[in-house]
Structures are given as C-alpha cells and as structure tokens.
A and B are shown apart, each in its own frame.
Chain A
C-alpha cells in the first residue's frame, strides 16, 4: 500500500470509500438522466454538482482518517518534518484525490452518456469542474479539522450531516451559493457559464481549506509569520469569495446572443439549438405531419420554426419552436410540442410581457385542438366547451383558422376574435 494512502485504512477500506463516493455521485445524477442526457453542458453541470453528496462523504472519510491520526500521536513525528504541514495534509490530500477521481468519473460518465446520445461536446465549458474540485478539498478539509481537533471517529456521521446541511442552506438561498457547483435543471442550451460567479465559490473554498487546517492544529499555520500570512490570505479569500458568490443559481449562466441552430425538414423547416439536437428529427416529422392540415386549410406557414429564449433580434417571419418540459433533451417529442410549435408562427413581444396575452393563448389553444382533431390525434370529449365548434361546419372553422393564424403571425393579438360560443 502506498504511504500516501496511510490513515485511510487498508486496501478494502480505501476501495469502500471510493465506492461510497462513486455511489453517492451516481445517486445524485442518475435520477435526472432523462433531463441531462440531451445536453452536454447540462450533463457536465450535473456531474460537477455531484459535490452536494460526494463532498459530505469526503468530509466524513477525512474525519475518520484524522481521528485515527490524532489518536496515533504520529502527528508529533510529522511536526519534526521540514515539510510538516504537507505531511500532515497528506491524508486529506489522499481523501481529496479519491473524491476528485470519483467526481471526474461521474462527470466523464455523464458527458459520455450525453455524447453517446448524439449531442455535441463543449469541452470549453469543462473548466467548471475545477471549482467543484476545490470545493471537494474544502469539504474534506473541514472533515479533517473536526477529526483531528476532536480525535473522535464517531463524529464522522455528524460531519457528513453538517456539511450536507450547508448545501441545503445554499439551496434554500439562506447563504450565498458558495457550495453550489452545478445541478441545473435546464439544458443550458444557448447559455454559457459566467466566469466569476462560478469561480468565486472556489476562492471561498480555498479560504476554507486554509482556515480548516489552521483550526485543526495550531502548530501547522501559526508557527511562523509567513505561515500566518497564509492564514490571513485564506481568511481574505473566504471573505471575498463569500461576498462575491452568486446569490442564486441563475447567476452561474448567461444567455448567448445568437446561439447556433441545427435544422431539418422543408415544409416547414424546423430548427433547434445545436447543443440539444436530439428532438429535432422527431419534432420535424411531427410538425410536417400536422402542418399538412394547416396548409390544406389555406394557411400560409412560416418557412422556418426556430428555437429561441428571447424575442429581441428574432426574424419576425419565423415561427417559434416550443417544446414541452424536458423534451429538449429527448429523442422523441409529444404531439403537443409539434402542435404548440405550429400555433406559434411568430415571435411576439406580448408573449414576454408582464401581462400574459390571454386572448392569444386561448386562440392558440383552440387552434391546436382544431389541428389535433383534424390530424386524428384527439377527439373532442362530451363535456368540452368547444366540442360543437370542432364538430361543426368545416368552412367556417377554416376561415377562422386562416384569420387567427394571420393575426398570430403579425402579433396582432388585439384583433383576435374567438368563434361564437367558444372561449
């Protein structure tokens, strides 16, 4: 056994710790696999966010190792070393290395699964793993400090719970997002990680490492002025990192002005973010199938339907792709997503205003139901308020469809009139 792994236990104990770290990492990402599988960046973010469970386990492992070290009195011999602080830190470094290896394995696993699912890679974003690794170091060092200061191995479960509860405080936004390294529920398509809000928690975490070591054993970092300066720097890093850390998770990401798209189909053409291409083929097929009925009714469809988060800068002649829930990540989409896309033939400011465009929403809803009835996807039920209209005269329906589609296409929501007896 390598001397670098001393105090972590025997070979099997080390394997057990690594297995536990890997297992909690998998537990933290696996339940949401259907969410992140369609986006490499989200897979990366989710993997990096596994620190929320892996960090507490690393802290517990460090607590156990340092409780042993304290009881062994070997630290007295370490203090005789030229590199006393490094020798003392070695077990924590070993725990951190185990945890980091497990975290990287989880991240590589997540991103590999996403790549295997056909989404493009964005290695330029991989740097967000570094702050996660620094946070793991901070969490392990807290466990080391508690273990060494107390010499009590039974505190390990309490350390695990304590470190985890700090994550909960951050999730509840009661403290800054110092311990948040990822786990976003959106696809991050068309978004990039912002540098400082992601790095600042790492600065705070580095400060925690220094202060934890200083608190664990006064001899380590209080012995000389140069070492006291390191403690001062650590304190400064914690304060600066804490105060500069993002207040909410949303600050970690920002929208790209014009995210690249990938397109398919011709009648009409359908485009989704290049980063989340999985639903494109199925969405295009379903849009084309449903679009036929609008064309037969005499509707002039936009040439393209394009995915977007914002109205600004959008071509008003292009429709808007609207996917339901996590369908951005899935290879198959619902008929409703295709319908919602077709009934949004233009990007309109009103859709993003303070007051929801209720009339336009009602019109899109009825138009979508009409389309799905025509396409044979649904049948009007007995109690539906629009049943009579949907089963009524076809010419009148198509006249309303043409008119309302033109109004939706020109964002003339105020001109919309619902059919008599509906709405």
Chain B
C-alpha cells in the first residue's frame, strides 16, 4: 500500500505563491502526522490527497494509480477523509447521517445497513444512534465525522485536525479510537497539537508555507531536534525556524 505525491502544486490564486508545493512525498505505510502552523497548507494537502481538490500540477498516486487520472474511480473508495469541521444536518438522526454519508460515498445500501451499526460501535456512538446530530457534543460530532470517513472501509484515512476544539478527556478518547483503527494501512493525521502527533503517529511531516521541511520517524525527530527536554513542540519550532534540513 502506498500513497505518493510528486511534483504537486496547489494554488488558489495565480498571483500568490502556491498553497502547496511538494516535489516528492511518500506518506505510507503507517500513521503519519502532518504538522504545520495555521495556513501551512495542511488542509489543502489533505483535500488533495482525499480526491476532493484537483491540483493545478502534479500527481497523487495510490498504489501507483493516479487519483486524478482516468482510473480515479478505482481508488476513490479506498480513501476516507475526515474534514476539519464536518457539520452534518442537525435535524438528522445519527444513524441517518451515517446512512447519508454511505450513500454519498456510493456504499451499496445493503452493505451500509450491515456495516454502519458496527461503525457506530467503533466510534462509541452506538447508544446515540437515534439521537439528532444537533444533540451531540463536540467530541461526539468529531467521532461521527470519523465514522463518516470510515464508511467505505478505507485503506487510506485522512484526518484533518481531528482533536481540534475538544476538551482533554474527549481528546484522549478520540485518540484511543484512532489508535485502534488498525485495519487502515495508511493514516495521515494533520494537527498543530504536537502531543497528538507524538502519541498517535510513527512518522512526521512538517509542512511550512506549502513545502515539506522534514519527514521522518517521530522518535528521531524529537530526539534530534527536541532539545534537552526532547519536546515535540520545540522540535517543530526549531524545524520551521531553521527551514528544514
């Protein structure tokens, strides 16, 4: 299983520098934390990796199949994407919301009916299946968004700031759920919370102004750049201050 980006350029406005500009990035296998300050290009890169945003240049390949090429349909279903602020209709019941997401992603109704209760169980929402989405707490909403990302039983899971806005208890709970998703071959997790990345990811990619400054094992990253305290935050700040290497 591989997820490779090459010669990628994503721009919103031709007059400004590209939001993402990456020569080569191999994101698999395992869990890779994508870190960067706000506006570094994390969400744009994740949307591009998800197949939601066609890049202005370059390719995204899933097992050597181009995500924006003629065989796009072969790999789309293998990617699950949890956007940063997924806001499903408040009046929908949780189970209906998941059924809707399954329909959106093209999961056959029979398969969705069989699978969705298990999904709700995995994210800890089985007892809230008949509740309205609007009744869920912030943490539950994030878990529902995670379930939405999992409806196709993806090989590649892309999580955009999954713990943002959650209290510490909810953050720990969600981390646990994500860590238990062992069936996924590749997980890319964007965050500006270094602690999340250090806890959940085995590899880290530092993105700054659209460019990858560093990619490697989290332990090595923290050891080499984290200073005497071996602080992930310090390692990150040192990396963007030094411009990579």
A81→B106 contact, CB < 8 A = yes
- A396 at interface, CB cutoff 8 A: no
* A10 CA / B53 CA spacing, docked (Å): 30
- Quick one: which of B88, B91, B96, B101 has the most chain A CB within 10 A? B91
Question: CB-CB < 8 A to B73: which residues of A?
Answer: 82
* A32 CA / B89 CA spacing, docked (Å): 41
Question: CB-CB < 8 A to B101: which residues of A?
Answer: 77
- A15 at interface, CB cutoff 8 A: no
- How big is the A interface, by class? 20 to 34
A76→B103 contact, CB < 8 A = no
B105→A81 contact, CB < 8 A = yes
- B81 at interface, CB cutoff 8 A: yes
B92→A82 contact, CB < 8 A = no
A3→B103 contact, CB < 8 A = yes
Q: Which candidate, A66-74, A178-186, A230-238, is the interface stretch facing chain B? A: A66-74
Q: Give the total number of A-B pairs whose CB atoms are below 8 A apart.
A: 72
- B170 at interface, CB cutoff 8 A: no
- B87 at interface, CB cutoff 8 A: yes
A76→B47 contact, CB < 8 A = yes
The digit string for A78-97, where 1 denotes a CB below 8 A from any CB of B, is 11111100010000000000
Question: CB-CB < 8 A to A3: which residues of B?
Answer: 96, 99-100, 103
A80→B79 contact, CB < 8 A = yes
- B199 at interface, CB cutoff 8 A: no
Question: CB-CB < 8 A to A78: which residues of B?
Answer: 104
- A316 at interface, CB cutoff 8 A: no
A13→B91 contact, CB < 8 A = yes
Q: Which residue of A lies closest to B79 (CB)?
A: A80
* A288 CA / B187 CA spacing, docked (Å): 92
- B181 at interface, CB cutoff 8 A: no
The digit string for A374-407, where 1 denotes a CB below 8 A from any CB of B, is 0000000000000000000000000000000000
> Which residues 1-33 of A sit at the B interface, judged by CB distance below 8 A?
1, 3, 6-7, 9-10, 13
Question: CB-CB < 8 A to B84: which residues of A?
Answer: 73
Question: CB-CB < 8 A to B76: which residues of A?
Answer: 80-82
Question: CB-CB < 8 A to A71: which residues of B?
Answer: 87
- How big is the B interface, by class? 20 to 34
- B230 at interface, CB cutoff 8 A: no
- The answer to whether residues A80 and B92 also contact, given A3-B99, A74-B86, A87-B104 and a CB cut-off of 8 A, is no
B89→A76 contact, CB < 8 A = no
- A219 at interface, CB cutoff 8 A: yes
- A223 at interface, CB cutoff 8 A: yes
A72→B52 contact, CB < 8 A = no
A1→B92 contact, CB < 8 A = yes
> Which residues 194-234 of A sit at the B interface, judged by CB distance below 8 A?
219, 223
- The answer to whether residues A6 and B92 also contact, given A71-B87, A77-B105, A78-B104 and a CB cut-off of 8 A, is yes
- The answer to whether residues A77 and B96 also contact, given A82-B76, A87-B104 and a CB cut-off of 8 A, is no
A72→B51 contact, CB < 8 A = no
B105→A80 contact, CB < 8 A = yes
B87→A77 contact, CB < 8 A = no
A76→B81 contact, CB < 8 A = yes
Q: Which residue of A lies closest to B158 (CB)?
A: A80
- Given contacts A1-B92, A73-B85, 18 further A-B pairs with CB under 8 A are A3-B99, A9-B89, A9-B91, A72-B88, A73-B86, A74-B86, A76-B50, A76-B83, A77-B52, A78-B104, A79-B53, A80-B52, A80-B79, A81-B105, A87-B103, A219-B53, A219-B54, A223-B54
* A interface residues with partner B (beta carbon < 8 Å): 1, 3, 6-7, 9-10, 13, 68, 71-74, 76-83, 87, 219, 223
